[in-house]
């Protein structure tokens, strides 16, 4: 079965995804881990700001806005 791994910022609004990898490092990676973004975490892409950046995601029952720059470093598999 082929997995479709994409950056989080490419997940369509209203879709669910599961974290497969974090490609960031340093403080940004620590922040993502502190937010609960570990491998296997389920994320829902909720809505975009009027300018398109940031995007709101539901992560472990909490809504968090992430900039596209940061979300692009979170690799996910879209869940159907």
pLDDT of the residue at 34 = 92
Q: What stretch of H or E contains 7?
A: strand 5-7
pTM to 2 decimals? 0.87
pLDDT band at 69 (very low <50, low <70, confident <90, very high): very high
Residue-by-residue DSSP string for 14-59? T-EEEEEEE---HHHHHHHHHTT--TT-EEEEEEE-TTS-SEEEEE
Domain spans, the chain: 5-79
pLDDT of the residue at 52 = 84
CATH of 5-79, one of 3.40.1280.10, 2.30.30.100, 2.30.30.90, 2.60.40.420: 2.30.30.90
In 17-40, which positions are buried (b, 16+ CB within 10 angstroms) versus exposed (e)?
Answer: bebeebebeeeeeeebeeeebeee
Could you read off the pLDDT of 35-58 as tens digits, one per residue? Answer: 899 999 999 999 999 988 999 999
For the chain, give the mean pLDDT. Answer: 92
Mean pLDDT of the 2-11 span: 87
């Amino acid at each position: 079965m082929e997995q479709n791994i994409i950056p989080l910022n490419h997940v369509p609004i209203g879709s669910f995804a599961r974290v497969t990898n974090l490609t960031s490092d340093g403080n940004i990676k620590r922040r993502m881990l502190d937010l609960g973004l570990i491998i296997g975490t389920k994320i829902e892409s909720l809505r975009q700001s009027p300018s398109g950046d940031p995007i709101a995601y539901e992560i472990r029952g909490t809504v968090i806005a992430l900039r596209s720059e940061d979300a692009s470093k979170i690799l996910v598999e879209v869940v159907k």
